[in-house]
Structure 1
Amino acid sequence: MTLFHLFLVAVIQGITEFLPISSSGHLILLPNLTGMADQGLLIDVAVHVGTLFAVVIYFWADVRSALFGLGRLARGKVDTEGARLAWLLIVSTVPVVIIGLILKVTGLSDAMRSTAVIGWTMLVFGLVLYWADQKGAETKTDADWTLRDAVIMGLWQAVALIPGTSRSGITITAARQLGYQRTGGAKLSMLMSIPTIAMAGGLLLIDVIAEGHADQLPDAAIAAALAFVSALAALSLMFRLMKSVSFTPYVIYRVILGVILLAVAYS
């Protein structure tokens, strides 16, 4: 792969993974609309690792608390904030793991990788995000996360397996609909991404090991580094903007892109 191609893939993944505009949709569109070759499994794993490290570092205090909490959780105790957070993250990850495996085994995940599907999901779930953001109450913070809310957000997260939906977008939508403040809902969405990205990267890594791509390791290292930097920048930008603006700018982008993609798909 050329350095320019690596740069495009890594930056697209890094920026769109956490903004509510769909990383998978943009990565599928890159070869679909430009004619570029697919980046391959190893590069997919690399950019996932880059974005994973970015969100872990950005929310390190919460991640460290959850990691320490895993020890107490393993002993059947949910008596600390860390254990409670670890438990709720596990619960919220179960739906996407189960449904993701079903889609992978049945091959349905590949059947949904079309421009038309991405156009519709960009448009529809963009409008759903707008509705939830405008109508949702702002009575809860991330500290108010409950088991019920973790289950609901986990089920919504599974919907993001449809390309173009946006994992962060759909979980933020769920959080706003449940009454979480913008920053609190977005924080929970980002924390939920950690086990989800780790699981997705692990599945891809199994395929990489089976196929063997040792010659692409230098490209993978570059892609991971670029994805890390761009993801960290995207996280910082999004949380800074949330102090003064709503999610409407992302909705406008989704609607415009969705309309353009549908016009291309059905022309």
Structure 2
Amino acid sequence: MSWIQVIVLSIVQGLTEFLPVSSSGHLRIVSELFWGVDAGASFTAVVQLGTEIAVLVYFAKDIWRILIAWFRGLFKPEHRNFDYRMGWMVIVGTIPVVVAGLLFQDLIRDVLRNLWITAAVLVLFSFVFIAAEKWGRKERDFEELTMKDAIIMGFAQCLALIPGVSRSGGTISAGLFTGLNREVATRFSFLLAIPAVLGAGLYSLPSALSGEAGGQMASAPMLAVGVVITFVLGYASIAWLLRFVAHHSFAWFAAWRIPVGLLVMLLLATGVLQPY
């Protein structure tokens, strides 16, 4: 990979990771549009480390409180409060995407990166956002989160393995369908993503450096710069999104996703872009 490619793709990743527009889908599209080649799932997973570090920093107090409560609750039943249960919710909610990622990693790195699939999912999944906003009750607060919510959102997170779905879009929509309000669904979506994305990034690091799993090879300094860029922009994106969801519907993001998906389909049909 070239330095300009790493910088541009890292900017795209940092700006779109937490928005329900699919950062992996946008990386796939931008890579093909400007360089005629797929940067690869491994590169995507590694630069996502920066955005997840941003989550760790932004929610540091919450994460530390949950960790302390979880470890205390393991040995002392009297300390098994909501934060203790929250720790288990994140752990259990992460299991589906870990299993799916390991079982279908070849499919994820190859077949599912077809741009026709990305474009179609960008359009079709937009209607899931609209439906979640229309029929989700959006009544339940953070203290009302349950293990059932975590499991449902955890399975929804598996859909993010398909470029074009959006990790935040899938999990937040699932949360809205269960009756959580937007802010609660969004905050838990961020917490739920931490183990999965950090694990995927570290697991994919050797592949990104060697290019063995498909896609392009990037040097260690390139990946380091990419992680820094995604951290800075990701942190800003978290703050913006949490303010946005307090007063606006997620359906607004469909107004971006649908035209982008249709445009990509047009470019594919006319031969400007290639599916792989």
Decide: shared fold, TM above 0.5: yes
Query: In the alignment, what sits opposite 2:274?
Result: none
Amino acid at match of 1:223: G
> What residue ranges of structure 1 are gaps of 5+ in the alignment?
none
Instruction: Write out aligned runs for 1:159-174 (5 A).
Output: 159-174=159-174
Query: In the alignment, what sits opposite 1:182?
Result: 182
Amino acid at match of 1:127: F
Query: More deviation in 88-97 or 217-226?
Result: 217-226
Query: More deviation in 256-265 or 172-181?
Result: 256-265
Amino acid at match of 1:87: W
Amino acid at match of 2:188: L
Instruction: Write out aligned runs for 1:7-46 (5 A).
Output: 7-35=7-35, 37-39=37-39, 43-44=43-44, 46=46
CA contact (8 A) 2:27 2:44 kept: no
How far apart are 1:159 and its partner, in Å? Answer: 1.5
Classify the secondary structure of the residue corresponding to 2:19. coil
CA 1:208–1:255 in 2, change beyond 3 Å: closer, same or farther?
closer
| 1:62-93: CA deviation from partner (whole Å, max 9, x where unpaired) | 21122223423554857033321110001111
Query: In the alignment, what sits opposite 1:59?
Result: 59
Q: Partners in 2 of 1:118 and 1:41 — Cα distance?
A: 13
Q: Partners in 2 of 1:110 and 1:41 — Cα distance?
A: 9
Q: What is the identity percentage for the equivalent residue pairs of Structure 1 and Structure 2? A: 30
Query: In the alignment, what sits opposite 2:145?
Result: 145
Question: Which residue, out of 202, 220, 224, partners 1:221?
Answer: 224
Query: In the alignment, what sits opposite 2:97?
Result: 96
| 1:132-177: CA deviation from partner (whole Å, max 9, x where unpaired) | 1122112112221101111111111112211110010010110111
> What residue ranges of structure 2 are gaps of 5+ in the alignment?
271-276
Classify the secondary structure of the residue corresponding to 2:219. helix
| 1:177-205: CA deviation from partner (whole Å, max 9, x where unpaired) | 11111111111111111111112112202
CA contact (8 A) 2:209 2:220 kept: no
CA 1:79–1:22 in 2, change beyond 3 Å: closer, same or farther?
same
| 1:229-254: CA deviation from partner (whole Å, max 9, x where unpaired) | 11011111111122322113211101
Query: In the alignment, what sits opposite 1:237?
Result: 240
CA contact (8 A) 1:43 1:219 kept: no
CA 1:65–1:122 in 2, change beyond 3 Å: closer, same or farther?
same
CA RMSD of aligned residues (A): 2.5
CA contact (8 A) 1:55 1:190 kept: yes
Classify the secondary structure of the residue corresponding to 2:104. helix
Q: Scaled by the length of structure 1, what TM-score is found?
A: 0.90
Question: Which residue, out of 250, 253, 258, partners 1:247?
Answer: 250
Amino acid at match of 1:168: S
How far apart are 1:214 and its partner, in Å? Answer: 11
How far apart are 1:259 and its partner, in Å? Answer: 1.3
Aligned length: 266
Q: Partners in 1 of 2:74 and 2:207 — Cα distance?
A: 30
Q: In the alignment, is residue 81 of structure 1 matched against residue 93 of structure 2? A: no
CA 1:52–1:248 in 2, change beyond 3 Å: closer, same or farther?
same
How far apart are 1:108 and its partner, in Å? Answer: 5.0
Q: Partners in 1 of 2:190 and 2:144 — Cα distance?
A: 16
Q: Partners in 2 of 1:154 and 1:75 — Cα distance?
A: 26
Q: Partners in 2 of 1:49 and 1:157 — Cα distance?
A: 17
Q: Partners in 2 of 1:232 and 1:216 — Cα distance?
A: 24
CA 1:247–1:45 in 2, change beyond 3 Å: closer, same or farther?
closer
How far apart are 1:209 and its partner, in Å? Answer: 7.2
How far apart are 1:266 and its partner, in Å? Answer: 3.1
Q: Partners in 2 of 1:140 and 1:34 — Cα distance?
A: 44
CA 1:162–1:73 in 2, change beyond 3 Å: closer, same or farther?
farther
